[in-house]
Amino acid sequence: MAVTNMPPSNYIRTSPDELDRIRSRYTKRSKWTFTTVLQKVLFWALIVFIVLYTLFPFYWAIVSSLTPDVDLYVYPVRYWPQNVTLEHYEAVFENGGFMRALLNSTIVSFGTVILALFFGTLAAYAMGRLRFRGRTPVLYLILSMTMFPAIAIVGSLYTFMQRFDLYNTLHGLIIVYLTFSLPFIVWVLTNFFRAMPGELEQAALVDGATPLRALWQVLLPMAIPGLVTTGLLAFISAWSEFLYALSFTINDDARTVQVAISQFTGNTQFELPFAKKMAAAVIVTVPLLVGVLIVQRRIISGLTAGAVKG
Amino acid sequence: MSSDQQTAQVTSVVEAEESRAGRAYRDRGTLARQQERLGWLLVVPPLVVIAVIALYPLFETFRLSFTNERLASAREARYVGFENYTDMFADDQFWTSMKNTVIFTVSSVALETILGMVIALVIHSNFRGRGLVRTSMLVPWAIPTVVSSLLWQWMFHDTYGVINSILKQLRLMPEDKFLAWNADPSTALGAVVAVDVWKTTPFMALLLLAGLQVIPGDVYEAAYVDGANKVQQFLHMTLPLLKPAILVALIFRTLDAFRVFDMIYVLNGYATETMSIAIYTQQLIVGRQRLGEGSAPAVIIFICVGLMAFIYTRLIRVEEA
C-alpha cells in the first residue's frame, strides 16, 4: 500500500541550516543604506524613550530624596545630585509616626499573606484537584470576588468593624484584606494546580496516601515557586492598599504606611516637604521592587494566568 | 524452594494485589464521597470570609441606601424610600464625578491599550538588552499607587516641578508661566490620566507581549511569502490573534479604572475637578458620616462594576471540568 511505502518523516524534514538558507533567499539582505540606518536610529530612540519614560519618575524620587533642600528648590532643576545628603532619610527614620506605620504595614501585610496563603492553598487544591459538586459555581464566585469594588462596602464595613471592635486595629485590617487577597490567591493557585501533571499525585493516592498527604508531600514541593510568586503579588496588593486603610484607621495604632505618607507634611507650614516625601516613597517602594526583580519572570506568567490587576 | 512453591507464592501475591485493587475499585464510591467532603471542607474558609466580610456588607449597603443612617450617631435611623437616590440624581457633584470617572476611564484605558500595543510590538522584535527593557517595565507597576501619585505630584509642582522645568528648557513654555498641572482646572483631569497611563501602560504592554509571543512565527513567514506587508500582517493576523488577550486586559482595566480612588485622592484630595465617583462616595460616608446617602452611589458603582464583571466572566469562561 502506498501509505506504508511512504519514506519515514525525517526524510522530508529540512535541517535548520537549510531552512535558514531558504529563508534568507526571501529576506532582503541588510545593507547599510540610509533608510536602514535611519530605521535603526529611530528604533533605538524609541527604546531609549520607553525606558526613560518608565524609569524617570522613580529616578527623580531617588535624586530628590538625596538632594539638600537648597539645591532642590531651584530653577532650572538639577537632573543629578551635585551634593548628596542623607538628611531627609534621617528625618524620615526619626519620625515616630512613620516608623510605627512602617511596622503596622509590615504586620498587616505579612499577616494577610500568611493567612491567605494557608487557606488559599488548601482551597485551591480542592478546586484544582478534587471532584465535588458545586465546584464550578464556587470558582465563579471566587473569580468575581477578584473584581469586587471595595468602595461598595466601605460604609457598611465601617459599622461592622465598630460593632466588633475591629475599627482602628491591625487584625481588623488583616481580616478586611482577606476579602481581596484570599480570592486572588485561590484563583491563581487553582489554575496553577490544574496545570500540574497528575501522575505523581495519583501514584501517592494509589499507595494509600490521603489527599492532604498527597498535597503536602507531592504537590506542594512542586508548587513552591508558584506559591512564592503568588504570595509576593498578594503582599504587594496588601502593602499598597489605601482605601480601607484610610477609612478604617484613625491614629498611629493602626495607620498603615500608605496613609502615613499621603499625609506627610513639612515641620512648619512654610516648609516644602517634597524631599522627605520622596525619601519616604523610596523606603516604601524599594522592598517591593527587590521582590519583583527576584521573581520577575514568573510574575508575568502568573499574572496572565490569574488576574490582570494593576 | 521448589518452583511450585514459588508459583504459589507469586499467585498469592497477585491475588492479594487483585483483591486490593478490587477493594479499591469497590471503594470508589466512598472515595468520591470522601473527596466531596474534603473538597467542601477546604473551600469553607474562603467562602466564610467572602460571605461575612463582603456579601453581607454588600447586602447592608443596599439596605442602608434606603435609610437616613449616619455614622456615630445615636439618632434612630428610619427608612426613607428612594430619597437618597433622588437626592443623588439631583446633586451636581454626583454628575460631575460620574463624568470625570467616565472621561478618566475611557481615555486612560484607550491610551494604555494603544501605547501598550506600540511598546509591545517594539519589544517583540529581537534586540540586545531586551530583557533589561522588559524588567524596567515592571517598575511602574510595582510602585504603590499612593507613591506614584506622590512622585507625580512633585513632578507637577508649579515652581520647582521637573515637568515645567523641562518644558521651559525646551522653550515649549514661557519662562514666567507656573502651571500646577494637577491643580489647574484645565489640566487637572489630564494630569490624573497621565499618572494612570504611566503606571499601567508598561504592564499592559507586558500582557500584550505575552500574547504576541504565543503567535507562532511561521504564520508570519507564510504571510511574507504571500506578499503581505507589515501593516497588513498587523491588521489581518496579529490583531485578530491577539483579540482575546486584548479583550481580557481591556475589561479588567476598565473595571479598575472605573473605581479609581487612591491615585486621584492622593494627588488632589476632594478637589471637584478630578473627583471620581468612588471619591464622591467615600467623602459622603467617611468624610461627612452620611452612611445612608453615601450608600446610594456605592450601590450604583456596584451595579456598574457588576455588569462589566459579568461580561468579563462570560468572555473568559471558567473551564468546566
For residue B279, how many C-alpha atoms fall within 13 Å in the half-sphere facing its CB? 26
Please compute the mean of the pLDDT values over residues A130-143 and round it to a whole number: 89
| Nearest-CB residue to A143 (from B225, B291, B318) | B318
Lowest-confidence region among A179-188, B2-11, B29-38, B88-97: B2-11
3-state secondary structure of A278: helix
| B258: nearest CA partner in chain A | A149
Between A209 and A248, whose confidence is greater?
A: A248
Q: Residue B320 above 50 pLDDT?
A: no
**What's at A95, amino acid-wise?**
N
Q: Which of B143, B152, B213, B266 to mutate to test the interface with A (most CBs of A within 10 A)?
A: B143
- Omega of the bond leading into A211 within 30 degrees of 0 (cis): no
Q: Cα–Cα distance between A108 and A240 in angstroms, integer?
A: 11
| Nearest-CB residue to A135 (from B39, B49, B160) | B39
| A281: nearest CA partner in chain B | B147
A233: Cβ contacts below 8 Å, ≥ 6 apart: A184, A188, A299, A302, A303, A306
A166: Cβ contacts below 8 Å, ≥ 6 apart: A160, A172, A175, A176, A248
CB contacts, 8 Å: B47 with chain A: 138, 141
A1: Cβ contacts below 8 Å, ≥ 6 apart: none
| Nearest-CB residue to A147 (from B148, B210, B255) | B255
Domains of chain B, residue spans: 3-64, 83-316
What are the two backbone dihedrals, phi and then psi, of residue B133, each rounded to the nearest 5 degrees? -60, -40
pLDDT one-digit tens code per residue, B72-113: 777 888 899 999 999 999 999 999 999 999 999 999 999 999
Specify burial of residue A11 (Cβ count, 10 A radius: 0-12, 13-18, 19+).
exposed
Please compute the mean of the pLDDT values over residues A206-220 and round it to a whole number: 85
pLDDT one-digit tens code per residue, B267-294: 999 999 999 999 999 999 998 999 999 9
What is the per-residue pLDDT for A4?
A: 46
The residues with which B79 forms a beta bridge, in sequence order, are: B67
- CATH code of the domain made up of B83-316: 1.10.3720.10
CA B103 remoteness from chain centre? 17
Q: Determine, for residues A47 and B127 on separate chains, whether the beta-carbon distance falls below 8 Å.
A: yes
Q: Which of B17, B49, B108 to mutate to test the interface with A (most CBs of A within 10 A)?
A: B49
- Write the DSSP symbol of residue B317: -
3-state secondary structure of B67: strand
Q: Cα–Cα distance between A299 and A280 in angstroms, integer?
A: 26
Q: Determine, for residues A153 and B137 on separate chains, whether the beta-carbon distance falls below 8 Å.
A: no
What is the per-residue pLDDT for A17?
A: 75
Contact B35, A211 (CB under 8 A): yes
Q: Cα–Cα distance between A115 and A94 in angstroms, integer?
A: 32
Q: Determine, for residues A159 and B202 on separate chains, whether the beta-carbon distance falls below 8 Å.
A: no
Q: Residue A140 above 60 pLDDT?
A: yes
Q: Cα–Cα distance between A235 and B273 in angstroms, integer?
A: 33
What is the per-residue pLDDT for A301?
A: 62
Q: Which of B52, B55, B124, B150 to mutate to test the interface with A (most CBs of A within 10 A)?
A: B150
3-state secondary structure of B79: strand
B203: Cβ contacts below 8 Å, ≥ 6 apart: A310, B116, B137, B138, B140, B141
Q: Residue B23 above 60 pLDDT?
A: no
pLDDT one-digit tens code per residue, A28-40: 555 678 888 898 8
- Write the DSSP symbol of residue A59: H
What is the per-residue pLDDT for A82?
A: 86
What is the per-residue pLDDT for A252?
A: 92
The residue behind cell 503606571 is: B199
Q: Determine, for residues A239 and B144 on separate chains, whether the beta-carbon distance falls below 8 Å.
A: yes
Q: Residue A43 above 80 pLDDT?
A: yes
Q: Residue A191 above 70 pLDDT?
A: yes
Q: Residue A208 above 60 pLDDT?
A: yes
Q: Residue A237 above 80 pLDDT?
A: yes
Q: pTM value? A: 0.85
CB contacts, 8 Å: A154 with chain B: 281-282, 285-286, 298
Mean predicted lDDT score pLDDT of chain B: 86
Q: Determine, for residues B282 and A151 on separate chains, whether the beta-carbon distance falls below 8 Å.
A: yes
